């Protein structure tokens, strides 16, 4: 039998892994559950991803694209005339107000790096991506503080199931950003 060419198979496997983690958590992820979800032979998952860590790295990298797209949709972040804390608070509100399951999944994968060292470089890409967007607006120390604060605000909203408070976020972020000269 001729082998079927399926250029999208790798992507479908990653998408399936994201769905499995969304439904069952990281503990429910296996090559077998992903193969079933993607409707591909088990050998396809191990062909494309030799280990679960490789699959999780790919899933986290893809999940990170969600916040990156939200950031990219806000070119005002790089405009020095824009109120940076207000714009960042707006971006967080848009992200947290979107697909809640996607945001929770992104954080679940992000926090999996605590126990899976292979994920740490990809988890760091999130902070680096935000930092790259903000690099022209402020100094590296402030960028790190802003990223940490935004991360903390997101985690508090997700873990306490409280609604996002954009005004609180704006005021908190304003405390980190040095006043304009």
Q: Is residue 162 assigned to a domain?
A: yes
Prediction pTM value: 0.80
Residue 100 has pLDDT above 70, yes or no: yes
Residue 39 belongs to what domain range? 7-50
| Same domain (yes/no): 11, 41 | yes
Dist CA 88 CA 174 (whole Å): 10
State the number of CA atoms in the 13 A half-sphere of 131 facing the CB.
Answer: 14
Claim to verify: residue 159 and residue 109 sit in the same structural domain: yes
Same structural domain for residues 69 and 133?
yes
Give the pLDDT score at 1: 42
The total number of structural domains in the chain stands at: 2
Mark whether 101 and 17 lie in a shared domain. Answer: no
- CA 17 → CA 22, 42, 57, 62, distances in Å? 8, 13, 11, 11
Quick: pLDDT tens for 113-158.
888 898 889 888 888 888 888 888 899 999 999 999 999 999 999 9
Over residues 1-10, the mean pLDDT reads: 68
157 and 77, same structural domain? yes
Digit-coded pLDDT (tens) for 38-77: 999 999 999 999 999 999 889 888 887 777 778 878 888 8
| 87 found inside a domain | yes
Whether residue 2 has pLDDT greater than 50: no
Asked if the structure places residue 179 within a domain, the reply is: no
Residues 78 and 117 grouped into a single domain: yes
Scan for tokens 């062909």, then name that residue.
Answer: 47
| d(C-alpha 180, C-alpha 25), whole Å | 44
Residue 117 domain flag: yes
Residues 64 and 104 in one domain: yes
Assign residue 102 the CATH number of its domain: 1.10.357.10
Q: Is the pLDDT of residue 176 over 90?
A: yes
């Amino acid at each position: 039998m001729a082998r079927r060419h399926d250029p999208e198979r790798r992507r479908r496997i990653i998408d399936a892994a994201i769905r499995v983690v969304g439904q069952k958590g990281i503990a429910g992820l296996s090559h077998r559950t992903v193969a079933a979800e993607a409707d591909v032979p088990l050998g396809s998952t191990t062909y494309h991803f030799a280990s679960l860590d490789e699959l999780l790295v790919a899933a986290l990298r893809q999940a990170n694209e969600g916040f990156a797209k939200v950031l990219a949709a806000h070119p005002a972040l790089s405009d020095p005339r824009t109120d940076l804390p207000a714009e960042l608070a707006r971006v967080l509100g848009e992200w947290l107000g979107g697909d809640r399951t996607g945001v929770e999944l992104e954080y679940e994968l992000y926090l999996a790096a605590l126990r899976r060292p292979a994920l740490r470089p990809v988890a760091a890409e999130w902070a680096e991506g935000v930092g790259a967007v903000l690099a022209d607006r402020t100094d590296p120390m402030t960028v790190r503080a802003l990223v940490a604060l935004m991360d903390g605000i997101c985690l508090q909203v997700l873990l306490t199931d409280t609604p996002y408070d954009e005004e609180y976020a704006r005021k908190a972020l304003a405390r980190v950003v040095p006043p304009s000269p």
